[in-house]
Amino acid sequence: MSFRARHLLGVEPLAPDEIVTLLDLAESYVSLNRRTVKHGDALDGLTQINLFFEASTRTQSSFELAGKRLGADVMNMAVAQSSVKKGETLIDTALTLNAMHPDLLVVRHPESGAVNLLAEKVNCAVINAGDGRHEHPTQALLDALTIRRAKGRLHRLTIAICGDIAHSRVARSNLILLGKMENRVRLVGPATLMPSGVAELGCEVFEDMRAGLDEADVVMMLRLQKERMDGGFIPSEREYYHRWGLDAEKLALAKPDAIVMHPGPMNRGVEIDGTIADDINRSVIQDQVEMGVAVRMAAMDLLARNLRAERGARAAGDVYV
Ligand code: ASP
């Protein structure tokens, strides 16, 4: 099996064959999830803790469902009611949870790099469910599965990632993953919402949305992340929608069979027209949600296999020491 990772902290360390292994396994979970009885046993007997320091709807609920469907004991830490509110540090919280012997720790945190730091302190497999502006690996993987199913391949596609690139971990993880799989990635949005050093990222950058969408196969819209903005990044929401919001007229410049994506939550009428988001002939936004559960099942299944193998090897080693 070609999935060697101990943790899933980002897509950056994953090789293309590991990405394909994960997506192929996720396909089998898509089928399982469409059955009436949705039980697998890949995580039987394991304990999964979800530790979310930032709000989440899709990610947390899909990790919870994914763990339960595969037989794990799943615990959602209620951070708002926990000692975090009393000033406990991230590392103390992690060490406390570690002492309860979890096998999988799913963590979302507002600081970039916080999840990597935590992974160094615990004995279980850690999954990054989004850290600041850094990475959101399972989002990029579920987007990849959605694209592969809709387009029949995950290479040589023109993919326009549009909007608030600077604050988006979704954009960053997608840019890395789609680049590894040899696609042509374009970043589209106002200069104020482009990350610094964008020129070195090796993709085309467009301020003009019409030029950026020209002949695109995939149009991926991003939320304006107001919670990460501390100044005037956009003139006004109205003006933003006019120039960078996805409406029918701008979408008409992409390929006729181009798909529309959005990681959610959406600001309808700000970055995307509600009618387009709901158009089942163009929008794959609900498919992204469905793929999210399957991809998270696959990710935890693969990490659990590696964890069991590592523990098995260690136990065997103890016998001979
Ligand atoms: N849900 C995604 C994230 O957690 C995208 C967003 O919040 O806009 O990064």
List pLDDT tens digits, range 243-274.
Answer: 999 999 999 999 999 999 999 999 999 999 99
Distance 199 CA to ligand 1 centre (A): 24
> Looking at residues 282-305, what average pLDDT do you find?
98
pLDDT at 104 over 80: yes
pLDDT band at residue 197 using 50, 70 and 90 as cut-offs: confident
Q: How do 259-261 and 184-188 pair as beta strands? A: unpaired
Which percentage of the chain shows pLDDT scores above 90?
83
Distance 12 CA to ligand 1 centre (A): 18
Stated length of the chain: 321
pLDDT at 59 over 80: yes
Of 50, 60, 136, best ligand 1 pocket probe by most atoms within 8 Å of the beta carbon = 136
Supply the pLDDT for residue 50.
96
Q: Is 67 in the pocket of ligand 1 (CB under 6 A)?
A: no
pLDDT at 277 over 80: yes
Tens digit of each residue's pLDDT (9 = 90 or more) over 158-179: 999 999 999 999 999 999 999 9
pLDDT at 198 over 70: yes
**Which atom of ligand 1 lies at the shortest distance from residue 108's CA?**
4
Entry pTM: 0.95
pLDDT at 181 over 70: yes
